[in-house]
Structure 1
Amino acid sequence: MSRLLIVVDRAKDWAPYYPSEDVLTFDQYLQFSAPPSSRVRVINLCQSARYLSKGYYCSLLAEARGHHVVPSVMTLNDLGRKGLFSLELEELDESVINWLEASGSAIDPASDERAATHEVRIRTYFGQAEHPDLKPVARALFERFPCPILEVVFKRRKQWQIESMKPAAPADLGEQEQDVFAAALDRFSSMVWRKPRTRRRYRYDLAVLVNPDEEMPPSDKVALKRFEKAGRKLGINVEQITRRDYMRLPEYDGLFIRETTAIDHHTYRFARKAAAEGMVVIDDPVSILKCTNKVFLADLLKNNKVPTPKTLILSKDQKNAVEQVISELGFPVVIKIPDGAFSRGVTKAEDEKTLRAGLKDLFKQSALVLAQEYLYTDYDWRIGVLGGRAIYACKYMMVKGHWQIYQHGESESESGGFETMPTYEVPRNVIQAALNATKLIGNGLYGVDIKQSGNRVAVIEVNDNPSIDAGVEDRFLGGELYTLIMQEFLSRMEENRRR
């Protein structure tokens, strides 16, 4: 059973809105109790959120009771520390800056030298803003500081920045603001809490994070449906979510990220929040951190004696970078940025001229660049590893007439062929290299790219979010591949429940 509660200081604070049995005063919430197995979400709308105020105690009690509350105690504490948010929005969209410039009112500085200082005060409602140009800022702030009503003050000195942020309450709002708040609350409450009937049929709930607009997602639509089917056979309700469902995460028992991950990205924030909520999460934030940066990964593998191509880490300010590459690696040589995916940000240099041009281009994107010896092979191995064991194996062929498995054109991308086979047919040293590499990362789901030349095996990279597409990675195991992954989620969620 699930319930959504809205807590206010006094009953009259809710007078402008429709009456609801879900609205409790703070004193009523003090006496509230729910069955231990029920899920309760609390929207804390108390007027004061200062330390040891009713609003603070509301969030504190909610967390003590195992209720998921917005805002959390951590958010309230963070909002009281200016240093955490003063630089939160270093780069504002041009439309936001234009709106701030048009809306800014000059502050009377008297004798103060800062005559050019301007200030704008706005309110956001569950990540929504009244003016369309402010929606990106409102959404970004809500993801970082989840708070029902947030009062934000922008100040411009040399540039616009956030001067202060604090929670507000319904009692602080005028009539027009009340309408905006009511609409945002209705949208938020319907978004974060699903109808309970879906839960009665399943033991666990698993969120699958996807991006419907992603050009090259880790799993296609057919594969996603097969994950759902496999999960439901095991008693897991598998539901796709998007980045807009960030605040819904506490509803679920697990999170499966099926969107290309990056550190400075919402996928990493989702993974961190899921881990903080005690959920089972693949990819976990530590795996994302270790895998998405090739500089870190190269050093990790090298220091732990996992076989890799000979690799140099080059600095933007390094004067002899070209000479070092030529003397230690020769030509052809592969150069790449640390956080590229699907062969993007990777270049092959055939001579000094193309090396210099390639490095110049890549250094515009990153302070560090990897240079790696070029190992020619007709294909790359991809070994899928889950929980420390190999579960699938593919050969990804190079694009015809190209040296990579992907070739990106101006309008479309092309990939080579593939061959899927049972893991017991893969050379033992290839499997062992994959397992040795993933032991350094964690016990999640990984795709290890390996080149094999004769008896030599070299790990190219470890992917924290490997491709699993219908008709490719599942070509040998079929539906069993999806069942294996859902079974892993089931085992971990059962272990969580026993704790």
Structure 2
Amino acid sequence: MSRLVIVVEKPSDWGSYYPSDNVVAAADYLRGDVGAEGERTQVINLCRSYKYMGTGYYVSLLAEARGHKVIPSVRTINDLRRRSLYGVDIEDLNAQLGKFLPEGSRDASDFGLLVYFGRTHYAPLEDLAQQVFETFPCPVLRIEFERQRVWQIAAIKPASLHTLTDDQEDAFAEALDAFSKKLWRKPRARRKYRYDLAMLQDPDEQMPPSNRKALKQFIEAGKALDIEVDPVGKRDFARLAEYDALFIRETTAINNHTYRFAHRAEREDMVVIDDPVSILRCTNKIYLHDRLRSRKLATPRTEIVFRDDARKLEALPDLLGLPIVLKIPDGSFSRGIHKVETPEQLKAAAEQLFQHTALLLAQEYLYTEFDWRIGVLDGEPLYACQYFMSRGHWQIYDHAPKGGAGKGAVRSGGFKTLPVREAPSEVVRLALRASNAIGNGLYGVDLKVAGDRTVVIEVNDNPSIDAGVEDAYLGEDLYLRIMSEFLRRLERKRLGVRD
């Protein structure tokens, strides 16, 4: 459990709120270490200014030197100070403003918005406020907007507690309470674990990487190794720094919160699986194909097709033969993939998929009854599975089964889990080479054996680990092995040893 320390520049800045032992003056914080030795401490720096080498700057600087988690961090302070730097970070946010502020929604050509710990009372911009806070974690931010042809963010600036009006003070207090709820609450009488691990999950995800029973198994395995595994969701981004490690058990993508979680965890020097580099390398099939090809690893014959290259599209049957498999770069669980058997089907499928991407992956079709999946952890084989094609379908997952339960119905084929030693040696060797091209995390390498050819289909950074499937041979030991790798990395980190 973390201790919360709220630092204000002058005691009068807290005058509108109830006195609290958690609130200390900046001078007192700077004079000595606040918190017992080894106690996890979260510092909220509410100084009036974060000017370089000013009081607020030194509060964050010394907090980091003392091993305290502080908001804002020195990096955030510097990023906000350098407009040229944060201008790059907010490019995506600017692109989204048209959705949040449609033309004609406001008559003004500029306006400002206060954001308290990622929260705002202006409903159309709630999501944007949260994203700005995730990019620049700072207690109070003022976002300034301007409109020329379109709305865009003109500036993002820290705001001071002592400048708030009564209504704004109420909004700040409400946001602070929500942000610090876990830290404010009275600690339960419970065992104190050596390490705390955040396990990111989405209970509402239709096809999560781990089912509920598997998630419980990870929690139990963590307990056995003195690691508390705490399930968290995307709304817990601001709390991430409280933990020692992050384990992502939610389908990853570069353009959603899973990547932001991984990137933030890495910046906080946490142990993280999946790490952001692995997510980047695995979630885009074009990037992955290029990386595997550069390592001279066997893959199906593949061509990259550009949206405006009609000549290349027409040439695909001669280059790859028919049928051809067309893939969007960021599909998962067999989504965004079409098998085409005629030039007409090829053209129609490409037109449909090019609505979502500028490039497509086209591959030769290799028929097999099942795909191999080799689980790899830190460069070592972990489990071996055979995933069979869905009945009457050419893929493992059929997203439009006949007689299905309607929209969203998904049917999958059977599976067989076996000891790694019983998998063909050439399959395991190629899987290890492919995973080594990505990193040293947890991967699921998909391969096909067609005739005398063994090829890599893809490497998954966030492999499925479901109770009753991938653990069918190893059982509880599968979860213990993964948690043991977290423990090994946490111990090495504590000793200052880098992998």
TM-score by length of 2: 0.94
How far residue 313 of structure 1 moved from its aligned partner, in angstroms, is: 1.2
Instruction: Please tell me the residue identity of whatever aligns with 1:343.
Output: S
Hey, what does 2:101 align to over in structure 1?
97
Q: Give 3-state SS (helix, strand or coil) of 1:341's partner.
A: coil
2:202 maps to 1:211: yes
The reply on whether 1:289 has 2:280 as its aligned counterpart is yes
Count of paired positions: 486
Post-superposition shift, 1:245? 1.0
Q: What CA distance in whole angstroms lies between the structure 2 residues aligned with 1:95 and 1:390?
A: 46
1:431 alignment partner AA: V
Could you tell me which residue of structure 1 aligns to residue 159 of structure 2?
A: 168
Retained in 2: the 8 A contact 1:203–1:235?
yes
Match of 1:250 in 2: 241
Question: Which of 21-30 and 129-138 deviates more?
Answer: 129-138
Against the structure 1 CA distance between its residues 204 and 139, is the aligned structure 2 distance closer, same or farther, given a 3 Å change threshold?
same
Q: What's the offset of the Cα at 1:192?
A: 5.6
How far the C-alpha of 1:213 sits from its partner, in A, is 1.4
Q: Which residue of 1 aligns with 2:301?
A: 310
Checking the alignment, whether the CA contact within 8 Å between 1:199 and 1:205 is kept in structure 2 is no
Q: Which moved more, 1:285-294 or 1:298-307?
A: 298-307
- 2:46 is matched by which residue type in structure 1? L
Structure 1 gap segments, 5+ residues each = 106-117
Q: Secondary structure at the match of 2:394?
A: coil
Structure 2: 5+ residue stretches without partners: 401-406
List aligned pairs for 1:26-175, cutoff 5 A: 26-33=26-33, 34-83=35-84, 84-85=86-87, 87-92=91-96, 96-97=100-101, 102=105, 104-105=107-108, 118-175=109-166
Q: Could you tell me how far 1:156 is from its partner in structure 2?
A: 1.0
Query: Aligned partners of 2:196, 2:256: CA distance in 1, in Å?
Result: 24
Q: Is the 8 A contact 2:98 2:150 kept in 1?
A: no
Q: What letter matches 2:326 in structure 1?
A: I
Identical aligned pairs, as a percentage?
A: 52
Could you report, residue by residue, the CA deviation over 1:53-83 in whole angstroms, capped at 9, with x for unpaired residues?
A: 2222221221222211111111112212334
2:301 aligned partner, one-letter code:
K
Structure 1 residues 347-356 or 124-133, which shifts more?
A: 124-133
Q: Residue type of the partner of 1:61?
A: L
1:26 CA displacement: 1.0
1:225-283 deviations in whole A, cap 9, x for unaligned? 00101110111111101111112122111111000011111111111111121111111
Q: What is the SS of the residue equivalent to 1:92?
A: helix
- For residues 107-160 of structure 1, give each alpha carbon's deviation from its aligned partner in whole angstroms, at most 9, with x where no partner exists: xxxxxxxxxxx1111101101112322211211111111111111111111111
SS of equivalent residue, structure 1 residue 470: coil
Correspondence list, 1:52-451, <5 A:
52-83=53-84, 84-85=86-87, 87-92=91-96, 96-97=100-101, 102=105, 104-105=107-108, 118-191=109-182, 196-197=187-188, 200-409=191-400, 410-451=407-448
| Other-structure match for 1:8 | 8
Letter in 2 for 1:64: A
Q: Deviations over 1:187-232 (max 9, x none)?
A: 1011467755578531111110001111100001110000101110
Q: Are the equivalent residues in 2 in contact too, given 1:128–1:138 (CA < 8 A)?
A: yes
Contact 1:104 1:120 survives alignment (8 Å): no
Structure-2 separation of matches of 1:95 and 1:302: 39
Distance 1:327 1:446 in 2: 34
8 Å contact 1:405–1:416 — kept in the other structure? yes
Deviation for aligned residue 1:404 = 0.2
Task: Report which stretch shifted further, 319-328 or 292-301.
Answer: 319-328
- Assess if the C-alpha contact under 8 Å between 2:98 and 2:151 holds in 1: no
Separation in structure 1 between the aligned mates of residue 352 and residue 59 of structure 2, nearest angstrom: 53
CA contact (8 A) 1:191 1:245 kept: no
The alpha-carbon distance between structure 1 residues 101 and 56, as it changes in their structure 2 partners (threshold 3 A), is farther
Mapped to 1, the partners of 2:491 and 2:190 lie a distance apart of 16
The superposition leaves residues 392-435 of structure 1 with CA deviations (integer Å, 9 ceiling, x where unpaired) of: 11111101111000111233111111111111111111111101
- Counterpart AA for 1:316: R
Please name the residue that 1:479 is paired with: 476
CA distance in 1 between partners of 2:185 and 2:310 (Å): 58
CA distance in 2, matches of 1:247, 1:202: 22
Q: Quick one: distance in 1 between partners of 2:106 and 2:112?
A: 9
The alignment partner of 2:101 has SS state of helix
| Separation in 1, partners of 2:408, 2:23 | 53
CA distance in structure 2 between the aligned counterparts of 1:281 and 1:193, rounded to whole angstroms: 26
CA contact (8 A) 1:219 1:469 kept: yes
Specify whether residues 192 and 102 from structure 1 end up closer, same or farther in structure 2 by C-alpha distance, changes over 3 A only. Answer: farther
Distance change >3 Å, CA 251–CA 276, structure 1 → 2: same
Q: 1:193 to 1:256 in 2, by over 3 A?
A: farther
Q: What is the alpha-carbon distance in structure 2 between the residues aligned to residue 378 and residue 137 of structure 1?
A: 46
> Which TM-score applies when normalising by structure 1?
0.94
Q: Verify the 8 A CA contact 2:94 2:153 in the aligned structure 1.
A: no
Specify the SS of the correspondent of 1:91: helix
Residues 302-349 of structure 1, C-alpha deviations (whole Å, 9 max, x = no match): 221211111111122324222331111010010101111101111111
Whether the aligned pair in 2 keeps the contact of 1:261 and 1:292 (CA below 8 Å) is yes
Instruction: Give the Å deviation of 1:461.
Output: 0.1
Deviation at residue 94 of structure 1 after TM alignment: 6.4
1:438-488 CA-to-partner distances (Å, cap 9, x unmatched) read 011111110011111233211100000000011111111111111111111
Structure 1 CA distance, aligned partners of 2:239 and 2:113?
25
